[in-house]
Structure 1
Amino acid sequence: MQVKDIMVKELFVVDKDDMVSYAIELMVKKRVSRLLVVDKGKLVGVITEKDMVDRLGSSKMRALQASSVHISGVMSDNPITITPQTDVVNSAKIMIDKHISSLPVVEKEELVGIITKSTMTRLCLKIDHIFVGQIMTKSPITTTPFDRIMNVRRIMLEKDISSLPVLDDGKLVGIITEGHIALYLAEFREKVPEKHQEKRIKHVKVTEVMQKDPPLLHPDNKVSEAADLMRRERVKSIPIINYEERLIGVLTKTDLTKLVANKFILENN
């Protein structure tokens, strides 16, 4: 199968000179986690939730508002691209090997589409012979409702993960993602006076930002069921609990992309 058979042709594009606040508004409106960045019609970068968590939370930009920062100062430039003829499995391998979540599709220097880990997730909608427990990430890193979001931001960036389940006394009470933090940081910069930002941001707790009552799965759910739930709920990861309601893992779109990269064959087979 080639990329042209599955790529998304509806593209959400911003100019490098647009403001980050506009990018956030567009992401929220279109319910996407990345935008393609152009300069005079040419692809020059990608801006993602991770980029915003990284830059908006940095000390260098701490006093700046999202409405005063250009996308060019936040985006990841020189993105890896593929062609419509690129093999889908190879595309999944590129995403995993390069630790990226999307690949713009370019033909004759023209931007014609994009594939993402969400695209790979859709390829798993008919996988009924593999179960969640066989491919989930076991013993995931977690946080608590009383941890600070700046500490969670640091963990996400250091460990290259996009979400953390939230546990209170061993019980799952929510999940916090890059998207939650990026949106909160942008709104925080706009609402809180500059002179108070540095002090206040240090004390913002996970419970103020996290998603409560996230969708859940059990290890014996089929991969097809998991992919469908991710698609319907528009989430990147789902906590996995046992029948005692204890967290035992997390299933991410990265896990499903790895499955595609491995041609739907379990790695230990």
Structure 2
Amino acid sequence: MKLNLKVKEIMLKKFPIIDKDDTLYHAIKLMKKYGIDRVVAVENGKLVGIATKKDIMERLGTLRTRTVTTSRLYVSSVMTINPIALGFDENVNTVIKLMVDKDISSVPIVDDAREPIGLVTKVEVASLCNKVDVKVSEIMSWNPVYVKPTDRVLHARQLLIQNSVTTLPVVEDDMVIGLVTIDDIADALVMFHDMVPEKHRKERIMNLLVADIMRIRFPRFHTDTPLSEVAKELSMRRLKGAPVLSRENMLAGIITLTDIVNFLAKQAK
């Protein structure tokens, strides 16, 4: 299934752009304003980096950063430097191949002067999966890593990093009662750093539990749900993933934007 589309047809034209020397606090405010989990960083108007909530989650969970707030950290200290970028006339299949081959979740789109003019994330790519006759069970990840509501947020963070996943179902008594994503943990750590005095952080971070930050409203799919329906729902919510349930409503697996992008990449070959 080759996608005969140009990047300019699917790219975000309104997205957050920030100077690399601006604060992480301002970057987070821009993410919230645009409803997106990343900012494109520039220097003198030219693309130099990209900073995501995954970067924030990884940085703020370390011992070294427990003494600082987001107003004392800079975008340049968390961003990926010189990200791969494309022109707006490139084919969408090129973006998909890059995401899979380079294990990246977005591609900035630049003009000839390397000034950012667009952004394509896995959300935009997944939204193209609307005319496939495939059930979610055919591409989802089975037996996923999960957490309990009583687990510490730092434990959930570590699971996300160690397993290279974006989404964790929250399970209690064999039932899925919540969902935790990279975004949720990043947001929780930002709030924690900005609200809790430095002298109390070491102790109180241990009391921050999954139950305190998990989503309780989220889509649930079944193994026979059409993939097109799943892709539409995740894209509309800009959600990284969601649990897939068995006929008995038990956790069977998880479906993520990454699974959908990988599927489209295989179809394009």
Report TM bin, short chain. Answer: over 0.9
User: What's the offset of the Cα at 1:90?
Assistant: 2.8
Q: How many residues align?
A: 264
- The answer as to whether partners of 2:129 and 2:231 remain within 8 angstroms in 1 is yes
The 2-side partners of 1:170 and 1:213 are apart by 18
Task: State whether structure 2 residue 238 is matched by structure 1 residue 234.
Answer: yes
Pick from 19, 26, 36 the counterpart of residue 23 of structure 2.
19
- The answer as to whether partners of 1:89 and 1:262 remain within 8 angstroms in 2 is no
Counterpart of 2:121 in structure 1: which amino acid? T
What is the match of residue 59 of structure 2?
Answer: 55
What is the match of residue 68 of structure 1?
Answer: 72
1:47-196 matched pairs, under 5 angstroms: 47-108=51-112, 109-127=114-132, 129-196=133-200
The 1-side partners of 2:203 and 2:80 are apart by 29
The 2-side partners of 1:72 and 1:255 are apart by 30
Counterpart secondary structure, 1:164: strand
The 1-side partners of 2:216 and 2:9 are apart by 37
- The answer as to whether partners of 2:93 and 2:268 remain within 8 angstroms in 1 is no
4+ long deviations beyond 4 Å: none
Task: State whether structure 2 residue 210 is matched by structure 1 residue 212.
Answer: no
Counterpart of 1:21 in structure 2: which amino acid? Y
The 2-side partners of 1:111 and 1:193 are apart by 38
Using a 3 Å threshold, how does the CA distance of structure 1 residues 264 and 170 change in structure 2: closer, same or farther? farther
Counterpart secondary structure, 2:21: coil
What are the superposed Cα offsets for residues 200-228 of structure 1, whole Å, 9 maximum, x if unpaired? 11221110111013211111111111112
- The answer as to whether partners of 1:90 and 1:261 remain within 8 angstroms in 2 is no
- The answer as to whether partners of 2:96 and 2:264 remain within 8 angstroms in 1 is yes
Counterpart of 1:56 in structure 2: which amino acid? L
The 1-side partners of 2:226 and 2:138 are apart by 10
What are the superposed Cα offsets for residues 108-161 of structure 1, whole Å, 9 maximum, x if unpaired? 12322111101111111232x111111111111111101111111111112211
1:234-253 matched pairs, under 5 angstroms: 234-253=238-257
What is the match of residue 43 of structure 2?
Answer: 39
What are the superposed Cα offsets for residues 38-68 of structure 1, whole Å, 9 maximum, x if unpaired? 1110111111010000111111111110122
Percent identical among aligned pairs is 36
The 1-side partners of 2:175 and 2:217 are apart by 12
The 1-side partners of 2:91 and 2:219 are apart by 32
User: What's the offset of the Cα at 1:190?
Assistant: 1.2
User: What's the offset of the Cα at 1:8?
Assistant: 2.0
Higher deviation after alignment, 249-258 or 99-108 = 99-108
Task: State whether structure 2 residue 259 is matched by structure 1 residue 255.
Answer: yes
RMSD: 1.5
User: What's the offset of the Cα at 1:264?
Assistant: 6.2
* TM-score, normalised by the number of residues in structure 2: 0.93
Counterpart secondary structure, 1:143: coil
What are the superposed Cα offsets for residues 156-175 of structure 1, whole Å, 9 maximum, x if unpaired? 11221111001012110101
User: What's the offset of the Cα at 1:12?
Assistant: 1.4
- The answer as to whether partners of 1:173 and 1:213 remain within 8 angstroms in 2 is no
User: What's the offset of the Cα at 1:88?
Assistant: 1.8
The 2-side partners of 1:40 and 1:233 are apart by 33
